Structure 1
Amino acid sequence: MQRKQLQALKDWFNQYVKGFYHDDPDVQAGIRLKEEHTKRVCEKILRIGSSLNLEPEDLYLAETIALLHDIGRFKQFALYHTFNDRRSENHALLGIRELERTGVLAALTEEERKLITRSIEYHNLCTLPPDLPDRLSLLARLIRDADKLDILEMFTASLDRKNDKPEAQQISGLPDTPGYSPVLVRNLLQEQLCYYDDMKNFNDRKLLMLSWVYDINFPRSLSEIARNGYVEKIVARLPKTEEVQKVTNICRPT
């Protein structure tokens, strides 16, 4: 893949997203939220990829995957007025259908198209399929780390705002009730991922996001989590219990 092909895709992305701009301020805010998220994920994937001394072609592919990983979010929000996949449809698969419908990847090789679309397909899975080819595994892990880093950034920033109902809670649709589900704490203490099906309230969402540290793939990603204090910021908004303190000690990157 060449730099000029990446630039052409950036130009296409900008025009595609503008097609979803809306006079309704709530709709426009949702579209802009994902547009800005995409830009930050592109920056983050380049930082992680550069830390691995990747070849330019792989960096172009990685940035392309970051650029297009949430392309389905725009049509999802236009159709369903939500970013919740459970209330609508899988945004990764919707995005792949949009890429196929528009033919925007036609100038790339078949291998490049497969690497891009499979990485998009896998970016929001709970865990990656086993035994992926090396190059696909690398690119899929890069986008998963970059995406998680930006979601953690947005999530913790939302918690810090002086709102009665943080944006992160509004998007999750979970009630902001006391307590948390013991199964999530148990998973965290066993250094295992938490699962969406076990979430009952917004505190559970916070615990699930803490479990992401067990699915981070690269040292640069862990260092960014530690430097930005994401674990500590989330824990500060959880009930002050002995269990939560144990979770903090286990999850905090070193």
Structure 2
Amino acid sequence: MQAEQLQALKNWFNQYVKNFYHDDPNVQAGIRLKEEHTQRVCEKILRIGSSLNLGPEDLYLAETIALLHDIGRFKQFVLYHTFNDRRSENHALLGIRELERTGVLAALTEEERNLVTRSIEYHNLCTLPPDLPERLSLFARLIRDADKLDILEMFTASLDRKNDKPEAQQISGLPDTPGYSPVLVRNLLQGQLCHYNDMKNSNDHKLLMLSWIYDINFPYSLSEIASNGCVEKIVARLPKTEEVQKVYEHLQAYMARRLAR
């Protein structure tokens, strides 16, 4: 992939998003939220890719995937007024349909189109399918890391700004009740991802976000999470219990082992 192709896609993206700008300030705030998220994910995927010494053409392709990974979010929010896929539809598949409808990827090779669309399809799955081809696995893991890095940063920031509507659109709408679900703590202590269906309140959402640490693929990504203090900031907003302390210590030990390699 070449630089001029990426620039053409950036121009298309900017025009596409402007079509969803809205007089309703709540809708406009949601559109801007995802527009800014996309910009940050593009920056993050380039930093991760550079840490792996990827060549220029692969970095262009990685940035393309980051640019388009949430393209379905704009139509989703205008149609459904939510970013919750379970209350609307899968934004990744909606995005792929938009890319196919507009034909914006026509200038790419068949292999490049496949890498872009499959990476977008897989970016929001709980786990990647097994035995993916090597290059598809690489780009799918790149976008998953870049996306998670930014969402974790937005989430931790939202803990201090509960009444900020653009940030509130990112959270699940679960009740802010005491306690948490034991199954999520068990998953975390066993080094496993938590599941959305097990969430009952906002504390459960925090525990689920912590479990994303187990699905970070590249050392650079994990080092960013460690240096940003995301784990500490989320744990500080959880109940002060022995179980939560064990979760914190387990995650810290896990990150230390991974980074020591």
TM-score class, shorter-chain normalisation, is over 0.9
Evaluate the alpha carbon distance shift between residue 246 and residue 202 of structure 1 in structure 2; reply closer, same or farther with a 3 A threshold: same
Asked if 1 retains the 8 angstrom alpha-carbon contact of 2:42 and 2:66, the reply is yes
1:171 deviates by 3.3
Partners of 2:150 and 2:77 in 1: how far apart?
A: 19
1:90 aligns with 2:90: yes
Evaluate the alpha carbon distance shift between residue 169 and residue 111 of structure 1 in structure 2; reply closer, same or farther with a 3 A threshold: closer
Partners of 1:48 and 1:63 in 2: how far apart?
A: 11
1:55 deviates by 1.1
- Residue number in structure 2 paired with 1:139: 139
Asked if 2 retains the 8 angstrom alpha-carbon contact of 1:159 and 1:168, the reply is no
Partners of 1:71 and 1:175 in 2: how far apart?
A: 29
1:232 deviates by 0.3
- Once the two structures are superposed, residues 61-97 of structure 1 have per-residue CA deviations (whole angstroms, 9 ceiling, x without a partner) of 1000000000000000011110000000000000000
- Once the two structures are superposed, residues 130-168 of structure 1 have per-residue CA deviations (whole angstroms, 9 ceiling, x without a partner) of 000000000000000000000001001111236499934
Asked if 2 retains the 8 angstrom alpha-carbon contact of 1:169 and 1:176, the reply is no
Asked if 2 retains the 8 angstrom alpha-carbon contact of 1:72 and 1:92, the reply is yes
SS at match of 1:175: coil
Gaps of 5+ in 2: 248-261
Which has the higher mean CA deviation after the structures are superposed, 171-180 or 136-145?
171-180
- Once the two structures are superposed, residues 19-43 of structure 1 have per-residue CA deviations (whole angstroms, 9 ceiling, x without a partner) of 0001111110000000000000000
Alignment of 1:181-196 (within 5 A): 181-196=181-196
Asked if 2 retains the 8 angstrom alpha-carbon contact of 1:159 and 1:166, the reply is no
Asked if 1 retains the 8 angstrom alpha-carbon contact of 2:84 and 2:172, the reply is yes
SS at match of 2:193: coil
Evaluate the alpha carbon distance shift between residue 127 and residue 196 of structure 1 in structure 2; reply closer, same or farther with a 3 A threshold: same
Alignment of 1:163-174 (within 5 A): 163=163, 167-168=167-168, 171-174=171-174
Asked if 1 retains the 8 angstrom alpha-carbon contact of 2:30 and 2:166, the reply is no
SS at match of 1:166: helix
Partners of 1:37 and 1:63 in 2: how far apart?
A: 13
- Once the two structures are superposed, residues 6-57 of structure 1 have per-residue CA deviations (whole angstroms, 9 ceiling, x without a partner) of 0000000000000000111111000000000000000000000000000111
Partners of 1:166 and 1:129 in 2: how far apart?
A: 32
Evaluate the alpha carbon distance shift between residue 109 and residue 51 of structure 1 in structure 2; reply closer, same or farther with a 3 A threshold: same
- Residue number in structure 1 paired with 2:253: none
Asked if 1 retains the 8 angstrom alpha-carbon contact of 2:191 and 2:214, the reply is yes
Asked if 2 retains the 8 angstrom alpha-carbon contact of 1:2 and 1:60, the reply is yes
Paired residues, what number? 247
- Once the two structures are superposed, residues 177-220 of structure 1 have per-residue CA deviations (whole angstroms, 9 ceiling, x without a partner) of 11000000000000110001101111101000000010000000
Asked if 1 retains the 8 angstrom alpha-carbon contact of 2:161 and 2:167, the reply is no
1:58 deviates by 0.8
Which has the higher mean CA deviation after the structures are superposed, 162-171 or 225-234?
162-171
TM-score, normalised to structure 1, is 0.95
Partners of 1:61 and 1:31 in 2: how far apart?
A: 24
1:173 deviates by 1.5
SS at match of 2:93: helix
SS at match of 2:165: coil
- Once the two structures are superposed, residues 86-112 of structure 1 have per-residue CA deviations (whole angstroms, 9 ceiling, x without a partner) of 000000000000000000000000100
Partners of 2:226 and 2:167 in 1: how far apart?
A: 23
Evaluate the alpha carbon distance shift between residue 191 and residue 216 of structure 1 in structure 2; reply closer, same or farther with a 3 A threshold: same
Asked if 2 retains the 8 angstrom alpha-carbon contact of 1:193 and 1:211, the reply is yes
Asked if 2 retains the 8 angstrom alpha-carbon contact of 1:46 and 1:62, the reply is yes
Which has the higher mean CA deviation after the structures are superposed, 168-177 or 128-137?
168-177
Alignment RMSD (CA, Å): 1.4
Asked if 1 retains the 8 angstrom alpha-carbon contact of 2:3 and 2:60, the reply is yes
Evaluate the alpha carbon distance shift between residue 111 and residue 170 of structure 1 in structure 2; reply closer, same or farther with a 3 A threshold: closer
Partners of 1:158 and 1:63 in 2: how far apart?
A: 26
